[in-house]
Structure 1
């Protein structure tokens, strides 16, 4: 890592997991305190699913709040509440829907129990890469389907951050074959967890702030989270030394900004535009940031912390791929809106795959030998 990386990474695991009411909210309120002359100040609450200042999504959520205040000249000020400060991490959607908070920042696969097709707006196993996912949302009809899915709950959503391609997870014991998945207790949300279940593992649902303790205590044998930057802040390398790739379950890491529909529609048009543009800008910025930081932190995990990067065996990857296809397509059987989302997603994957292979895979193979 460079000196810049070290400074950016000054957040320790303890700070990342702290849930006190101080820093992040204070930063948001430190934005322009006086609205433009003659303009009323609107104050919102934002609840998130992340520990305070967590590298990646925690930082993204705070930047969104800060930049909305800055670009609006203080007319729209957002106070951020990290996971557990106002509502638990996995209740962000309900809090925004009910109006407890006007805004949230999370990942759509956390709502799989309520809305099974929501997972397609973060990531699905062997699905779209980050740029492909952005393309589907913005060009392939994904945003309209997202609006339709959340609409009955009084919630709007926008892409608002991306942590990029994920790693496959932290494991205490080596995965040598499919047999090693049987009985494995692993935290893996979204459709990836169902894939693991069908292959004999036991997926466990836990919010981010509880993962380190669960892995340390043996409550779980393995956990996935994000990439090397965020994972280092969480401290997983302290209790597990095997770091698996590829992140078959999350080839993309789209975060979502959630808005209470009444609150959002009540904004003047210029503030709506500011909110949309801030989210879009953060989507690009966070993806670039994650790529840069992950590359540095991967080297640090290996060279400084003795982490061994492992690749899932071929037979495991083949089983994961085949099972993932079945699990993904099964969502279409749930209801009519789910069927349309799955079909749209798969059409986008099919359309983009040839170009991605020619423009990206072939180039990388040629560049890197």
Structure 2
């Protein structure tokens, strides 16, 4: 029989476990001089790869000087409110793409998946570090009191669907969870873009509210559980790599001593590097060895219509502002150079 003492002891353990689930992840140093709260766009399973290793590393090294509390998608504020919360100082830092967090800048449209802006994940850091995008992003975010810290690449953008996609015709009427700009572009081919909280996507596919997802590559589909509710993976992609960044409230960033700014930079770089090989290897392995999704392909000749439409879309975006025109000009020059360089940069 359960004694009163055993009952109270077990009840106390259960209460503590419940409380722990509602509190932020434990810090390595309990009373740091500086404490930041960073929220990522990613849910818990994905965050284990795309951000947590870097934050853990920072906290171990910084010790009592500084600790960063990591929060997952929509845990403190909805993803669409991340920018405003960071700008106000409600949270100190963010990992997201510009598009998802609805930042009020001229470069927002280029975050996430700007159609066919890149072919490979390495294109993104090259564009930022060698072709001038870093400077443009810095200018835009400085205007609104936010520090753009560092940009990096994620996975390519593919459709994961319940029904097979073999042609552009098959896309018509499909309700798809995707990024705002990607949805705006693909709507011309009959796709119906849908915005929902990240944690609701799996259930929305199961209930039929969504017909598919165009938010990631196959690595994420398996990692976050979407491969369990979709049946097919379209090998054609909208863009070769997601472009996302780390951001911080400008005042909080400026308060940091130089050595912590440098440590922050180093650990963000380690995060970018981790994603480069984790996604690159995962995309190939799961296409060839994965058992949950069947691969489908739209013929190259037909998919060329989508690639051609992307260049028209670029020109439309460039007409919207001088800053957007600067970015589009860089994208055009970069891609032309890659095509001229040939293998292994581009295959024609």
Tell me the TM-score normalized by structure 1. Answer: 0.81
Q: CA RMSD in A?
A: 2.5
Equivalent residue for 2:5? none
Picking from 290, 294, 297, the partner of 1:301 is 290
Equivalent residue for 1:202? 192
Q: Where does the alignment leave 5 or more consecutive residues of structure 2 unmatched?
A: 1-18
Q: Deviations over 1:227-259 (max 9, x none)?
A: 2232113322333211101222x3112331110
Distance 1:281 1:68, change over 3 A: same
Equivalent residue for 2:93? 103
Aligned residues: 329
Picking from 257, 269, 273, the partner of 1:280 is 269
Tell me the TM-score normalized by structure 2. Answer: 0.85
Q: Where does the alignment leave 5 or more consecutive residues of structure 1 unmatched?
A: 1-19, 36-40
Detail structure 1 runs of 4+ shifted over 6 Å in the superposition: none
| CA displacement at 1:144 relative to structure 2 | 0.5
| CA displacement at 1:45 relative to structure 2 | 0.7
Query: Which of the pair has more CA radius of gyration?
Result: 2
Picking from 285, 291, 296, the partner of 2:280 is 291
User: Partners in 1 of 2:111 and 2:254 — Cα distance?
Assistant: 22
Equivalent residue for 1:165? 156
Q: Is the 8 Å Cα contact of residues 156 and 258 (structure 1) preserved in structure 2?
A: yes
| CA displacement at 1:213 relative to structure 2 | 1.4
| CA displacement at 1:351 relative to structure 2 | 2.5
Equivalent residue for 1:124? 114
User: Partners in 2 of 1:263 and 1:47 — Cα distance?
Assistant: 15
User: Partners in 2 of 1:159 and 1:121 — Cα distance?
Assistant: 13
User: Partners in 1 of 2:316 and 2:152 — Cα distance?
Assistant: 28
Q: Deviations over 1:36-68 (max 9, x none)?
A: xxxxx110111122212x23x453222232222
Equivalent residue for 1:91? 81
Equivalent residue for 1:78? 68
Q: Deviations over 1:9-43 (max 9, x none)?
A: xxxxxxxxxxx97499424x0x24476xxxxx110
